[in-house]
Structure 1
Amino acid sequence: MVNFGGLARKLFGSANERRVRSYKSSVEAVNALEDQMKALSDTELAAKTAEFRQQLAAGKTLDDLLVPAFAVVREASRRVLGMRPFDVQLTGAMILNDGSIAEMKTGEGKTLVATLSVYLNALAGKGIHVVTVNDYLASRDAATMGRLYGFLGLSTGVIVHGISDDERRAAYACDITYATNNELGFDYLRDNMKFDRGQMVQRGHNYAIVDEVDSILVDEARTPLIISGPLDDRSDLYTTIDAFIPLLSEEDYEIDEKQRAANFSEVGTEKLENLLRQAGLLKGESLYDVENVAIVHHINNALKAHKLFTRDKDYIVRNDEIVIIDEFTGRMMPGRRYSEGQHQALEAKEKVKIQPENQTLSSITFQNYFRMYDKLAGMTGTASTEAEEFGNIYGLEVVEVPTNLPIQRIDEDDEVYRTFEEKFKAIIEEIKAAHERDQPVLVGTTSIEKSELLATMLRQSGFEHFHVLNARYHEQEAYIVSQAGVPGAVTIATNMAGRGTDIQLGGNLDMRLERDLEGMEPGPERDAKEAVIRDEIKVLKQRALAAGGLYVIATERHESRRIDNQLRGRSGRQGDPGRSKFYLSLQDDLMRIFGTDRMDGMLQKLGLKEGEAIVHPWINKALERAQKKVEARNFDIRKNLLKYDDVTNDQRKVIFEQRIELMDADAAGLEEIVADMRNDVIEVMVAKHIPERAYAEQWDAAGLKTDVERLLNLNLPIQEWVTEEGIGEEDIRERITTAADKAAADRHERFGAEVMNYVQRSVVLQTLDNLWREHIVNLDHLRSVVGFRGYAQRDPLQEYKSEAFELFQALLVNLREAVTAQMMRVELVRDASPPQPPQTMEPHHIDATTGDDEFAGGNASGLQVAPDDRDPTNPETWGRVGRNEACPCGSGKKYKHCHGAFEQEA
């Protein structure tokens, strides 16, 4: 039978090859301009930016300018950075410009590739975001590539953890902004909690290039970004419940490692009911009575904390805190906390200080954040295995870019041992053998625990010449990884720690120069030392090449093929020789959970002795199938998360757009919004108590009077009105509206337009925010139970959409009523001290990235000032004041009830 697909590929090339070939003419056109660009002076080359911007203003498109702009960047890069982009790098940049993912192998210069597309798109002046996986890479790339952009007259900013709002605003205002995905997402959420448009830091979502796109848009997309605020302290409850778990035996619970789920058996449930009854925590007879829903939730969390979460793999304990470990990169994630009480359950398990549980104030998934960009592109060494997900969720096509030089790395078949001990012994022997022949070795592990176990075993075997790189030491990771290519070096790394830093044979020259020449003044002595380092690295590189290049040894297969490919890809960069090999055992998590139970018995029957390994391509294929299953399951999890979040996201967009409209509205517009809300409330109220076509004796005059007092703060003779002859529903509505409008106008006159404008804006925004937070909690609760509707043959997603819509409608009704009720009651508290301009109100919340408590209100400087340094008569000296602190003016009232806030009459 003729394989027509294979025949067509031979004749015409694959779809990927055809796509790459389509850029050939543009690459040749850039090359044709090279001599012309070389002839320009630095000033003439830099002046091209202004020339391109004029052409854009005259009607040309960015695509019209691609060839000359790329030629300018290539020449500027050669002059400023000493690097001339290869033809394949130009191709990669064109793929990025088209809004696709460029898959380029490690060491192919992706950071430089991005500069071409960034420069071209930055000419439009709308802001470009370059997204990196950590603060170090954002700072490094902004500093290095910022020199190139600066030469061409473009400004560069960088967003890293811990900088102020003013610094963030300035960075976002630059032509190009480097930042991590977390900082971008949290800035978006924080912006939509601000009370003044001028306080917002971002200026739109024009074009983003995501570096390590698979890590950010796939691996991290399983967890949404959440900004939360503290609830009541319930640490005693967590401690009490935690003490029950060690009292249980294996028959009391069931663990499903595949689904990361833990449940109690009937026997276990009975035991727990007795324990809870003794502790006075059980209400009613059964644990599953409706009154015990919260207790069941906490008990399940405690069971998961003990049986599914492993110390030094899923988290570490540092400075009396539980710090989560990223399962994909092995990095610590300080400030990140598990939600819904799971983090508190871990704190109780490890006997560290239990932090209060948090309520979600605002959240978004990475999928929905990055889909807001008008144009999105990405680059990585490993994306093709997730091409379907990128296409389905982000509309991004993955294009593989050929390497500049052919790959010479040898990828050996996996070696499979029966036990951990046998596997680690073999790895240690292999490390020692490679070290003796002067070959640099990078050992990849899947957890901190395993990296430290291997390190301990190496020391016990008498081998001390190695570095351990894991989440505990990530501050030094860039330098350690950069020197992993030195002959004889042995580096043990957790997963992809140090990703983003090139491993160059002989050592990374730039990192060596930065470290060894630190603090030296320019001059002959510094030049001489630099020359020595350069010569030393040349010699070391030749030794490393002679030894066979970088040898990557992996101690385990990861759930995802991409992570394995990333590790392999550290070796054999830019045509260097290299080697990679995976060592596995039947006790590895992937083999144990997804492999076959019969394999161990089968290998023993085949006569596999202790210390022997089985090596066969079939094993590799079987493992790849297991990995594909896990990848498919993880994709389904992310897809399912996104389906539900899309419902929330549609509502989030409406709320956030409404907030911006409210912040942008002038005094007249704001007054009109509040008046419309008031009129809607009156209309609904009258319709409720005086139904259409109802007789006068069926009218609920008493109920209408009660609602008018409750919502409008008006005492009107409604019962007298309804007895008037010939009066209708319209007349009563008109009289209530007239009285309400008059009361509102009186307030405006009493307090002045400026103050009332501020009060109206504050009331509407704060009420909207409070209701939105409650709405998010309601949606979370709805989502946790809606799955059970499937048992009744109803689609849980459709049920969720329907009920979420009803909840949102209720939110809008509540907003109108709450704003109207507050605005009809608001009274300002006058203070004896000089009047101050209204303070901008901020939500009181804990930043999910840092765990830092952010105070509301206070001086615009945002600085905290010691109480003794505050002058009670001068609010400008108070700095940032907590809303529940005593007011520094000495009135004895809380700050929120004194300066900087308004009070409502009961």
Structure 2
Amino acid sequence: MGAFVGRLKARARRLLQRPGSADLSRYEPLVRQAGAREQWAQGLSDEELTEAAGALRESAGGRFGDRDLVELCALGREAARRALDERPYDVQLLGTLGLLTGHVVEMATGEGKTLAGALAAAGYALRGERVHVLSVNDYLARRDAEWMAPVYALLGVSVAWVGQSSTREERRRAYAADVTYGAVSEIGFDLLRDRLCTDVAELVLPEPGVALIDEADSVLVDEARVPLVLAGSAGEVEADRAVSEVVRRLRAEVHYEIDDNRRSVYLTGAGAEAVEAALGGIDLYSDEHAGRLAAVNVALHAHALLRRDVDYIVRDGRVQLISESRGRVARLQRWPDGLQAAVEVKESLPVSRGGEVLDSITVQALVGRYPRVCGMTGTAVAVAEQLREFYGLEAAVIPPNRPCIRVDEPDRVFASVADKEAALVAEVAEVHATGRPVLVGTLDVAESERLARKLTAAGVENVVVLNARNDAEEAAVVAEAGALGAVTVSTQMAGRGTDIRLGGANGADHDEVAALGGLYVVGSGRYPSSRLDNQLRGRAGRQGDPGGSVFFSSMRDELVTGYAPDAEVPGEVADNGEVTGANVAAVVDFAQRVAEGVNLETHRDTWRYSKLVEHQREVLLEYRGRVLREDVAVRLLEQRCAERWADLTEGVGEQEAARVARLVLLHHLDRGWTEHLEFLTDLREGIHLRALAREDPLDEFHRAAIPAFKRIVDQARDQTVETVEKLEWDESGVDLAAVGIRRPSATWTYLVHDNPVGSEQDRVMKWLRSKVASAERSWLRR
């Protein structure tokens, strides 16, 4: 009875400490039983260990009972000990069991998520399921696959990885393995490319099985707002350089105004008049010059809202976007063609090629294809409600192997950014003088480089900077951030994937650094998400080591001015600019909560609109799959143009005629989908105006999108018949190009911000302001 009461108390305490998290306590006895089997596993030879895992595969029958889970944990622990010289802790095995039961497990930085994930992936594979381990980037996918390969080998499980440089054959071989590691974008792009294949032999991806997601909060929440896109060549994008030069001369608050959270910019009346005069006295708001108005708006967005070294960097003669959630170059990410071209013109760079969108998919839809999903991260509970709402996943907290003794100091808030940075530099210099390693987390590239210069000027030696300019060096830089006397200035630390060990990579000075208090983390401002704050804090205090953290904020930080613009300084201001008072931190907390709410609504908005599109795509793909694998096109032509079909069959043979019919029908289906996507894009751009008539924009979107979709297949069939009627052939074959049947001469993939020019409300307000400005000028001209 006493033990039962003790378990109830422990469970109540856990729920109070971690509300919204799942309870894994029922699996704790299995971990203890695995410990009891440890001596048995150690007595096995390598061959016997592999055979024991193979027997588990044969006996599982697609399901694991408790006994199988105990056996897996015992064998997995021994495999890791032999292959990596690392014995998984009990809490790591608990994390493995959490993953095997379909949870998103929260494990603190340095607690061994990678190994726990590998054992879970091996468990799914031994259960007879194909596993994709989805990572945030190519580097981590390759590193983890190669790092864990010896463990998989001992368990008799094959492993491989895919990356941007992988060829089609390399991808096909990688996906044939039991476990495949890959960046979520790469696996998504392979799916998009498969969707346009015209021959079954070209397909790369197998049917989905299990998705095990590393850095799950980043992938499932942050990346979920950014669709993956497959584009086809469509000529060069025209950028209006004259408009760009005109916009470049406009002045803020005179010719244009920016809203408080920097999501929207619009011309004032004076600005519109200046632009019209510079462009030859045109009426910018007339139907005749609607294209010029659009070009002005895009150029204004590029000049006023997108900042070099904050939103993007210029490197190797190209504009490269910076991931807001990770502070690194988003290598495949770009804005829509017009905005991308406007930024390139702004930076006096050649305009990159444009293209039409052939297909796209959201991360949420990609993950939704997998029958089983699980994940791991250091900050799952913070997004537990979103994981439940959007994915039906439950978060589970794994306790640390050793209690965290990191000291998190209260935020220090200053009246101005200059005051904040001066105090931060003084703090870092003082701590550095003792030899204690310091990690400074910054908000963007420009800030990281500015603070590094100020630290150097203050006498801090050997400051190392890690940002989007040198992210290829991140593993080496992060590994040494805990060395004696190290000072590292970095952009966002989430998803860096490398632990910071006290004393450096080899831990040579561990004890000396620990005696100084361990790694000291200093944030130069709060991020738009508390999860990112915690990711930075979590770099200190790993595995029971000492550590500390503090955040420096100001009342003029963009987080506060953008999301709490009316906030007043809530307290006394000291001589050094520091604000003291009981409610100081509450202002920053409030701004952060508003920012989190805005991002959540963007996620919801993306999913509301994309859910219908994804459903339509699945319906079309089902029909396309039958066209690809069956004689659907042949039967169509036999029914609709039997005489012409007979001529074609006689002229080129049944096999070639069937291939031609398939290619023609697939071309028109894919063309119809591309045009449908263009229609939906235009529809959504204008649908916000329905709100002015008190109509629900989403309902109106559905009302227009559904009948348009229903016409695609019938139109493709009609067009196929018309095309075959026009076909010509000779002894060399059928000339498909003569009737316009050709695949894009080039395709490429990228991610695109789904909402680059603001929310629905932003666009409504921008439209209203433009109409008001137009009316004012019309009245003045009378």
Q: Which amino acid aligns with 1:67?
A: V
- Partner of residue 239, structure 1: 241
Identity of aligned residues (%): 36
Q: SS at the partner of 2:348? A: coil
1:568 paired to 2:537: yes
- Partner of residue 392, structure 2: 395
Give the C-alpha shift of residue 61 in structure 1. 4.2
State how 1:500-899 maps to structure 2 within 5 Å: 500-509=497-506, 537-538=507-508, 540-595=509-564, 597=566, 599-600=568-569, 603=571, 606=572, 608-615=573-580, 618-665=583-630, 668-675=631-638, 678=640, 740-831=641-732, 842-849=743-750
Q: SS at the partner of 1:558? A: coil
Q: Which amino acid aligns with 1:550?
A: L
Contact preservation (8 Å) 2:135, 2:141? yes
- Partner of residue 755, structure 2: none
Question: Within 1, Cα distance between the matches of 2:291 and 2:45?
Answer: 72
State how 1:62-81 maps to structure 2 within 5 Å: 65-81=68-84
Sort the Cα spacing of 1:169 and 1:347 in 2 relative to 1 into closer, same or farther, 3 A. same
> After the TM superposition, which of the residue ranges 344-353 and 494-503 deviates more from structure 2?
494-503
- Partner of residue 3, structure 1: none
Sort the Cα spacing of 1:312 and 1:170 in 2 relative to 1 into closer, same or farther, 3 A. same
- Partner of residue 19, structure 1: 23
> After the TM superposition, which of the residue ranges 808-817 and 639-648 deviates more from structure 2?
808-817
State how 1:210-221 maps to structure 2 within 5 Å: 210-221=213-224
- Partner of residue 38, structure 2: 34
Question: Within 2, Cα distance between the matches of 1:63 and 1:769?
Answer: 48
- Partner of residue 254, structure 1: 257
Q: SS at the partner of 2:222? A: helix
Sort the Cα spacing of 1:580 and 1:829 in 2 relative to 1 into closer, same or farther, 3 A. farther
Question: Within 1, Cα distance between the matches of 2:22 and 2:232?
Answer: 52
Give the C-alpha shift of residue 431 in structure 1. 1.5
- Partner of residue 149, structure 2: 146
- Partner of residue 758, structure 2: none
Question: Within 2, Cα distance between the matches of 1:358 and 1:617?
Answer: 55
1:321-350 Cα deviation digits (max 9, x unpaired): 111011111111234210141111101111
Sort the Cα spacing of 1:773 and 1:596 in 2 relative to 1 into closer, same or farther, 3 A. closer
Question: Within 1, Cα distance between the matches of 2:64 and 2:26?
Answer: 20
- Partner of residue 469, structure 1: 466
Q: Which runs of 5+ in 1 are unaligned?
A: 1-7, 510-536, 679-739, 834-839, 852-906
Contact preservation (8 Å) 1:227, 1:363? yes
Give the C-alpha shift of residue 295 in structure 1. 2.6
- Given the alignment, which residue of 426, 430, 447 partners 1:429? 426
Give the C-alpha shift of residue 570 in structure 1. 0.3
Question: Within 1, Cα distance between the matches of 2:637 and 2:60?
Answer: 43
Sort the Cα spacing of 1:796 and 1:594 in 2 relative to 1 into closer, same or farther, 3 A. closer
Give the C-alpha shift of residue 594 in structure 1. 2.8
Question: Within 2, Cα distance between the matches of 1:493 and 1:64?
Answer: 46
Question: Within 1, Cα distance between the matches of 2:582 and 2:174?
Answer: 51
Sort the Cα spacing of 1:832 and 1:303 in 2 relative to 1 into closer, same or farther, 3 A. closer
Contact preservation (8 Å) 2:262, 2:562? no
Give the C-alpha shift of residue 270 in structure 1. 3.2
Contact preservation (8 Å) 1:93, 1:117? yes
Question: Within 1, Cα distance between the matches of 2:566 and 2:691?
Answer: 33
Give the C-alpha shift of residue 372 in structure 1. 0.8
- Partner of residue 763, structure 2: none
Q: SS at the partner of 1:584? A: strand
Question: Within 1, Cα distance between the matches of 2:567 and 2:665?
Answer: 65
Contact preservation (8 Å) 1:331, 1:474? yes
Question: Within 1, Cα distance between the matches of 2:204 and 2:82?
Answer: 34
1:14-56 Cα deviation digits (max 9, x unpaired): 4468713222222222222222212222111110232122213
Question: Within 1, Cα distance between the matches of 2:63 and 2:371?
Answer: 19
Give the C-alpha shift of residue 383 in structure 1. 2.0
1:649-705 Cα deviation digits (max 9, x unpaired): 01111222222222211xx554114445x3xxxxxxxxxxxxxxxxxxxxxxxxxxx
Give the C-alpha shift of residue 216 in structure 1. 1.2
Question: Within 1, Cα distance between the matches of 2:519 and 2:386?
Answer: 32
1:76-133 Cα deviation digits (max 9, x unpaired): 1111111111111111111111211101110000001112211111124442011111
Q: SS at the partner of 2:583? A: helix
Give the C-alpha shift of residue 842 in structure 1. 4.9
Q: Which amino acid aligns with 1:49?
A: A
Question: Within 2, Cα distance between the matches of 1:288 and 1:555?
Answer: 44
Give the C-alpha shift of residue 392 in structure 1. 0.5
Give the C-alpha shift of residue 617 in structure 1. 6.1
Contact preservation (8 Å) 2:22, 2:395? no
- Partner of residue 115, structure 2: 112
1:175 paired to 2:138: no
Contact preservation (8 Å) 1:110, 1:379? yes
Higher relative CO (Cα under 8 Å, sequence separation at least 6) belongs to 2
Question: Within 2, Cα distance between the matches of 1:211 and 1:18?
Answer: 19
Question: Within 1, Cα distance between the matches of 2:127 and 2:287?
Answer: 58
1:382-439 Cα deviation digits (max 9, x unpaired): 1222111111001111111111111100000111122222222222222122222111
Q: Which amino acid aligns with 1:796?
A: P
- Given the alignment, which residue of 123, 129, 133 partners 1:130? 133
Question: Within 1, Cα distance between the matches of 2:510 and 2:466?
Answer: 22
Q: SS at the partner of 1:251? A: coil
> After the TM superposition, which of the residue ranges 547-556 and 22-31 deviates more from structure 2?
22-31
Give the C-alpha shift of residue 493 in structure 1. 0.5
- Partner of residue 734, structure 1: none
State how 1:96-111 maps to structure 2 within 5 Å: 96-111=99-114
Aligned residue pairs, count: 734
Give the C-alpha shift of residue 755 in structure 1. 1.2
Question: Within 2, Cα distance between the matches of 1:659 and 1:652?
Answer: 10
Q: Which amino acid aligns with 2:608?
A: K
Q: SS at the partner of 1:481? A: helix
Q: SS at the partner of 2:425? A: helix
Q: Which amino acid aligns with 1:588?
A: D
TM-score, length of structure 1 as denominator length: 0.78
Q: SS at the partner of 1:362? A: strand
Question: Within 1, Cα distance between the matches of 2:693 and 2:733?
Answer: 65
- Partner of residue 301, structure 1: 298
1:445 paired to 2:442: yes
Question: Within 2, Cα distance between the matches of 1:650 and 1:569?
Answer: 39
Q: Which amino acid aligns with 2:58?
A: Q
Contact preservation (8 Å) 2:225, 2:602? yes
Question: Within 2, Cα distance between the matches of 1:18 and 1:163?
Answer: 38
1:210-235 Cα deviation digits (max 9, x unpaired): 11111111112111111113434354
1:842-898 Cα deviation digits (max 9, x unpaired): 5434312499xxxxxxxxxxxxxxxxxxxxxxxxxxxxxxxxxxxxxxxxxxxxxxx
Sort the Cα spacing of 1:336 and 1:438 in 2 relative to 1 into closer, same or farther, 3 A. same
